Structure formats: C-alpha cells, structure tokens
Chain A
Amino acid sequence: MMPIAESEVRWVKPPTLGLLDRLYLPAIAQGLGTTIKHVFQPKVTQQFPEERPDLPANYRGLHRLNRDADGRVKCVACYMCSTACPARCIDIVAAPSPWPDREKYPEMFVIDELRCIYCGMCEQACPCDAIELTSMFDLTGLSREEMMFDKEKLLSVFDQSVAMGKDPVRTRAGALSCASEPNV
C-alpha cells in the first residue's frame, strides 16, 4: 500500500543554469548590490547602557510583591506560587495576620533570583495577584546572598517599578482575593 498515489507525487528538478548564470559575474554583482544596499539602511544597533530597549508589557523580568491600597503587602501566604514554581526558588514562612481582613500573611518571603528561571508560573498561580514579573532585566549582584530577594526588597521593587511608569499595577482581583476572604 503506497502512502500516496503516484500521480500526486510532484517531481522537482533544480533549475538549469543559463549562460549568464554560468558566468557567475551577474550573480556576484547582484549579491554585491544587496550588501551595499544594506550599508545605507538604518542601523539596528542599540547603544545599550545609554539606550534602553523598549520591552513589551508582558516581559518576564525581576519579580515584585504588590502592595494593596493601604500599602501593605498584598500576599496572603497561600503557598500557591512556591508550589507552582518549577525551580523551587520561592521560600515563604506564613504567620497569623496582624490585620483583621485576612487570616495569614507572609512573615518571610524570599525569592532566589539566581535559581529562578523567569517562567512566570508564580504570577499565574497567585490567586490575589500579589506577585508579578516586571520588565527589569539587568539585575546584578556581587554575591549569592545579595541575589536572595526578601520581602522588603521585593516590595521596594514594586515601588521602583511603579515609579518608573513602565509596569503599572495590572491586578484586576479585588482588594484581597477570594482566597483569603471567607465571606465571598
């Protein structure tokens, strides 16, 4: 049993070269024309440190921990991000919330930015949009310890990114999400 009928097979031959093609000189001149044309085209080089790239809004860069309207950390310490994290770089210690509107809050929230693979699954998993990836990409550090971003640092990333205007608060969930609001 043939997979396809013989009549449906289309045989393709390489084109035969004519006299001018065989001299190669016209083709070489044409190639030179193409490359010379590029000399006069606009340059695509970005002078990086002076000139910043215009990144799309869904760029997956450094994490931030969002604040709610009162300036408190929005996270409710539900562990869904650290569960979803394939690199296991999120370390959370939950504690009873000092505020009446939720049961838990993260006493400690550390992301190992060296271990993170910037897949954005924490952002997807978060039920109250508390963790988001910003468009900051050029983070550097002199030690491994420095690259362990704790709660304060991640909150400062939020302040910084909002001040930059590049990463607006994208959340559409309520003040706190259903995950922590028992009455909803």
Chain B
Amino acid sequence: MMSLSTIITILAVFGALQGLAAFLVYVERKVCAFMQNRIGPNRVGPAGLLQVLADGLKFVMKEEFVPRYADKLLFIVAPAIGMVAAMLSFAVVPFGPTDNPADADYLANYQFIVARNIDIGILFIFAVSSLTVYGIILGGWASNNKYSLLGGLRSSAQIISYEIPLGLSILGVVLICGSLNLERIIWRQAEGGLFAWNIWVQPLAFILFMVSAFAECNRLPFDLPETEQELVGGYHTEYNGMKLAFFFLGEYVHMVTTSFLMVILFFGGWHFPVIAGPDSWVVFKLIVFIVKMSLFIIFYMLVRWTIPRFRFDQLMALAWKVFIPMALANLVCVMIVKEFGLPIWLLLPVSLGILFAAGLVVTQPAKRSPRYQAPLGNASGEALLPQ
C-alpha cells in the first residue's frame, strides 16, 4: 500500500518536474518580454501557452549531432548526469504539506515528499546536487572545443567555490532547528507561527544562501559557464536537440529545488499565518507552498533581466573574500547564542550588524604599497584613481 503510493508519487513528481521545467522556459520568456515592454510568445496556442510543446517538439525532432573529435561516450552521458543529479536531489524535498515527523503515524499517513523522514536531508541535497557540475565539466571537456572547456572549467571553479557559502549559510538554520531533516525544519517553523520563520533570525544567512543558490544554478548574474558573448554558449556550445534540452532541464529543476529550499529553510514551508496552520486543510497548505515557491522562481527571473553579469575575478572574490567570512561570522554568532542560552531574537540585530560591518570593511581605503605610484596625476600630484 505504502510502496504503491510512493511509486505514484515518484512518477508524479518526475513528470511534474519535467513539465514544470519546460513551462519555466515559457515563463522566463514572458517575464523577460514584460520587463522589456514586449508581449513575448503569443502565437502558439492561447497566450502562447503551447510554445512549451512546440519547443519540446523542436528539441525532439532535431538531428542528434556529435562532433567528430568529441569523446562520444562522455558527450552523450554528460547531459544525463546533469539532469539525473538535479532530479535526484529533489527526492528529499517536501513539495507539499507534511505532518509532524515526530508523530507515531507519520509514516502511515500520506506525505508530500518522495523519501520521507530522511535525517540527513540537507546533506543529501548538497551531496547530490553538487554532482551536476560533473555534467557540465564533462560536457565541456568531451566537446573537444576550447570554448566549451573554458565554460566547464569556469563552472567547476564557480560551483566548488559557492558550495562553501551555500553550506555554511544554512548551518545556522540547522543549529537553530537542531535537525538536518527538512520536514522537522518546516514543522518547527509551522508550530511557532509567523515569527518562528527562520528569516527573522537568519536574514543574513538567507541573503548568502540565495546569492549562492543563484551561482549554483548558473543563473545570471553568475552565468559565467555559459556566457554567450565570450564563450559562445560555454559548455553547451556543441550541444543541440535533446541533449541540450537535458542541460536546460537540469538547470531549471535545480532552480525549482533551490526555490523550495529557500521556502523550507527560511520562510516556513507550507505555513502561513491565518491561511495555513498545522491544522488547516491540506489544499490550503499546498497552495501556500506552491505560491511561495513560484514567487522565488519569478524572483530568479526578475534578477536575470536586472543585474548584469559579474567578471570572473569579482565572482571568485565575492565567494571567498565576502561570503565565506560572513557566513562563518554568522555561524559563530548562532553558536554563541545557542551555547550560552541567549534569547534567539538577538540574532536579528547581529545578522544585520555583520552585514553592515562587512560593508564598513570594504569602504575602508585599501593600503597601497609605498612603491605604488598613481598612474596619472593632476597638477597637485593627486592620483586620478580612487585610493
């Protein structure tokens, strides 16, 4: 009985995720068009909704082309790795209401999650979703194309760098909730009400997590692996048809997963005051959860058409010089509060304090070496460049 419902859930999630990922391409184009005062796809079907089918059909009908000097096996396997890893990490993410995992009949009742009550939930997501980088770097290498290889290299450097702030930033949440289990984290916030949402005590962690998630998904402003202008598409330069679609599918599934994670970790999962409490009807909870998740996806798209791309050294500096120290400081503060039993609301001013302190540090004039000479100066010998 239970295994049957699990199988149905797996199939439903598998289908829904792929459909959603294809639909997101349409949403992306629509959002882009609206932000540029355009209408966007509107020719295929009502309001262009069948564009999704048309795009999919185009991908399927295309010739499956493999470059002559490409490593054929890896070339074909790489997109599959990317997509499978992205899909697999969704296994422990609750996509709808879940009960209190401490209840005795938790496993007997239906829960909106594929693998329920996994105590290493977050760890599993990070372990599996980092595997997507293999898809990208193998695809880049197997193409036997310098642009693709550069894209793959950039991607591996970027994703490995951003894994660290991504993991460090949510350690605070994990410490506060005392669990890596995503259902427990949701339940703790749902029980406590609106002000138990982790965003109130970990706003800095949320910003760090969100920006790192953008980088993990290769979304703008961190889409350096696939820069069209400099790398002609980066790791997927040589890809077309269904294999290219797999890369995109993986990317969009990753977006959906991280959007769910942001809602679960910081915004109380399916909980919303008045509308969806622990005793509310399942449908309300489901709607609240999906709406919250969709808002984050829309936000992903808004940011894409707002912020220009980072330079590669800026990208690395942001991860190593800014995010990791900030995440560490945040983690230390959470540990101090937990260890000495201080009131937890202290973390709100502390988080903002860390953010402003970081701003203060970078506004301090950098010390030049005594041998440094201003490249150009005016009559009074003042340097032109900011000191």
Which residues from chain A sit less than 8 Å from chain B, CB to CB?
6, 9, 11, 13-14, 16-20, 22-23, 25, 28, 31-32, 34-36, 38-39, 41-45, 47
Contact = CB atoms under 8 A, between A and B. Distances in A.
A44 B40 CA distance: 11
A44 B359 contact: no
Taking each of B35, B38, B385, which has the highest tally of chain A beta carbons within 10 Å of its own beta carbon?
B35
A13 B377 CA distance: 11
A45 B302 contact: no
Given A9-B378, A19-B356, A28 B362 contact: no
B37 A44 contact: yes
B41 to A, nearest CB: 11
A41 B307 contact: no
Contact of A42 (B37, B358, B379, B386): B37
B355 A38 contact: no
A47 B43 CA distance: 10
Interface string B277-317: 00000000000000000000000001101110000000000
Given A6-B379, A44-B38, 6 more contacts: A23-B356, A35-B302, A36-B302, A38-B37, A39-B35, A43-B37
Nearest to A32: B306
Nearest to A27: B307
Given A9-B378, A11-B384, A32-B303, A22 B38 contact: no
A23 B355 contact: yes
B363 interface: yes
Contacts of B108: none
Given A23-B356, A34-B306, A43 B363 contact: no
Contact of A38 (B35, B363, B378): B35
Contacts of A31: 306-307
B257 to A, nearest CB: 23
Interface string B354-387: 0110111011000000000000001100101110
Given A35-B35, A45-B38, A19 B306 contact: no
Nearest to B378: A11
B306 A23 contact: no
Contacts of B34: 38-39
B306 A22 contact: no
A13 to B, nearest CB: 6
Give the contact-size bracket for chain B: 20 to 34
Contacts of A20: 359
A19 B363 contact: yes
B44 interface: no
A19 B37 contact: no
Interface string B77-97: 000000000000000000000
A146 B356 CA distance: 71
Nearest to A45: B39
Nearest to B31: A39
A44 B38 CA distance: 6
Nearest to A14: B386
B36 interface: yes
Contact of A18 (B38, B307, B363): B363
A19 B360 contact: yes
A23 B37 contact: no
Interface in B1-43: 33-39
A20 B356 CA distance: 8
Taking each of A6, A11, A20, which has the highest tally of chain B beta carbons within 10 Å of its own beta carbon?
A11
Contacts of A19: 356, 359-360, 363
A43 B38 contact: yes
A173 B97 CA distance: 82
Nearest to B377: A11
Taking each of A9, A13, A25, A34, which has the highest tally of chain B beta carbons within 10 Å of its own beta carbon?
A13
A6 B378 CA distance: 9
A16 B366 CA distance: 13
Contact of B307 (A28, A36, A43): A28
Nearest to A46: B39
B100 to A, nearest CB: 36
B359 A22 contact: yes
B359 A28 contact: no
30 contacts: A6-B379, A9-B378, A11-B378, A11-B382, A11-B384, A13-B384, A13-B386, A14-B386, A18-B363, A19-B356, A19-B359, A19-B363, A20-B359, A22-B359, A22-B362, A22-B363, A23-B355, A28-B306, A31-B307, A32-B306, A35-B302, A35-B305, A35-B306, A39-B34, A39-B35, A41-B37, A43-B38, A44-B38, A45-B38, A47-B39
